[in-house]
């Protein structure tokens, strides 16, 4: 490598000075937290030995480092309360729709547990309204929505006609795309059709009217009709695969 002429005087060049200043502040940003930690554990007696004229510069340096350390950590502080909420419809005291030995609350809890498993495996922070067979009531589920980046509750539809079928997600208009993606993920695994607008049902168009979970910002995924024997059989045979597909949609949404 050949150096420029008069390289010993390079420090006088503006480009070199700007580069050096930039490098200094970049290093300060990278190591600001460590510097502050070292300064905090330095004994006061040792600090008192620093000459007064130098101490003023050190004080400014420490102050800048503290500000940079705070700014550097700020994004992490915003992420602390970001999590996915996944809950099961109905509760241990409210079975929901029933078909023989199967009830909606238990099936929804199984699906919730499976989705939570895949979120955990992907390193996604999440909260649920219970683990295992525990399925808390609607009020507990609604409380989990606050602070979450997305909240999804799982249900199963039921109808007098055993031919009624399909997958849908009830949500506010702002969540239309996510609702459609969630419904498609389930429908593709179960081989079911999409109801509503490509799997999305606007809460205002829902036969159930205004729903507390949705009004508070959540989405409700109807995983098929428990009253339809074929869809119930598909659920029991493939719910783990469908749960993984749903988790992938939520992970993509988070990222």
pLDDT at site 129: 96
Better-scored residue on pLDDT, 7 or 150: 150
Better-scored residue on pLDDT, 171 or 59: 171
Separation CA 253–CA 249 (nearest Å): 6
pLDDT in tens, 84-116: 999 999 999 999 999 999 999 999 999 999 999
Judgement on whether residues 71 and 88 belong to the same structural domain of the protein? no
pLDDT in tens, 219-250: 999 999 999 999 999 999 999 999 999 999 99
5: left (phi over 0), alpha (psi -120 to 50) or beta: beta
Separation CA 35–CA 120 (nearest Å): 35
Question: In sequence order, what are the beta bridge partners of 201?
Answer: 170
Better-scored residue on pLDDT, 140 or 5: 140
Q: Could you give the 3-state DSSP secondary structure of residue 128? A: strand
In a domain, 5, yes or no: no
Judgement on whether residues 191 and 99 belong to the same structural domain of the protein? yes
Judgement on whether residues 238 and 123 belong to the same structural domain of the protein? yes
Q: Can you give the residue range of the structural domain that contains 165?
A: 84-254
- Name the percent of the chain in helix, strand, coil, to the closest 5: 55, 15, 30
Separation CA 231–CA 166 (nearest Å): 8
Judgement on whether residues 98 and 197 belong to the same structural domain of the protein? yes
As a whole number, mean pLDDT of residues 8-20 equals: 56
Q: What is the average pLDDT score of the chain? A: 83
pLDDT at site 80: 47
pLDDT at site 232: 98
Give the confidence band of 125 by pLDDT, cuts at 50, 70, 90: very high
Distant-in-sequence, close-in-space partners of 151: CB < 8 Å, separation ≥ 6? 84, 85, 86, 87, 144, 145, 213, 216, 217, 218, 219
Tokens of 56: 């003023």
pLDDT at 216 over 70: yes
pLDDT at site 211: 84
Judgement on whether residues 67 and 52 belong to the same structural domain of the protein? yes
Domain end, chosen from 39, 60, 78, is at 78
Separation CA 159–CA 166 (nearest Å): 12
Give the confidence band of 117 by pLDDT, cuts at 50, 70, 90: very high
pLDDT in tens, 178-215: 999 999 999 999 999 999 999 999 987 766 667 889 99
Give the confidence band of 51 by pLDDT, cuts at 50, 70, 90: confident
Tell me the backbone φ, ψ of residue 60, rounded to 5 degrees: -65, -40
Better-scored residue on pLDDT, 167 or 65: 167
Q: How many domains does the chain have?
A: 2
pLDDT at site 82: 79
The helix (H) or strand (E) run that includes residue 232 is helix 229-254
Judgement on whether residues 45 and 92 belong to the same structural domain of the protein? no
Residue 122: which CATH number?
Answer: 3.40.630.40
Give the confidence band of 79 by pLDDT, cuts at 50, 70, 90: very low
In a domain, 152, yes or no: yes
Closest Cα partner for 92 from 80, 79, 108?
108
Judgement on whether residues 70 and 148 belong to the same structural domain of the protein? no
pLDDT in tens, 18-41: 555 555 655 555 555 666 566 555
Closest Cα partner for 150 from 62, 98, 73, 87?
87
Confidence (pTM) = 0.69
Degrees to nearest 5, angle at CA 247 with 207 and 214: 30
């Amino acid at each position: 490598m050949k150096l420029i002429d008069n390289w010993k005087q390079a420090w006088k060049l503006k480009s070199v000075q700007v580069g050096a200043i930039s490098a200094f502040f970049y290093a300060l940003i990278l190591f600001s937290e460590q510097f502050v930690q070292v300064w905090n554990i330095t004994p006061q007696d040792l600090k008192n030995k620093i000459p007064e004229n130098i101490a003023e510069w050190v004080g400014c340096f420490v102050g800048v480092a503290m500000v940079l350390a705070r700014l550097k950590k700020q994004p992490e502080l915003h992420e602390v309360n970001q999590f996915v909420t996944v809950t099961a419809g109905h509760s241990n005291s409210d079975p929901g729709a029933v078909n023989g030995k199967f009830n909606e609350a238990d099936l929804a809890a199984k699906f919730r547990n499976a989705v939570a498993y895949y979120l955990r495996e992907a390193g996604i922070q999440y909260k649920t309204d219970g683990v295992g067979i525990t399925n808390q009531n609607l009020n507990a589920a609604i409380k989990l929505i606050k602070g979450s980046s997305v909240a999804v509750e799982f249900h199963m539809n039921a109808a007098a006609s055993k031919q009624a079928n399909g997958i849908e997600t009830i949500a506010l208009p702002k969540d239309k795309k996510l609702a459609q993606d969630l419904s498609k993920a389930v429908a593709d695994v179960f081989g079911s059709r999409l109801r509503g607008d490509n799997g999305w049902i606007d809460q205002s168009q829902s036969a159930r009217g205004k729903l507390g979970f949705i009004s508070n910002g959540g989405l409700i995924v109807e995983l098929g009709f428990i009253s339809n024997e074929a869809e119930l059989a598909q659920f029991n045979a493939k719910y783990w695969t469908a749960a993984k597909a749903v988790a992938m949609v939520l992970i993509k949404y988070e990222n």
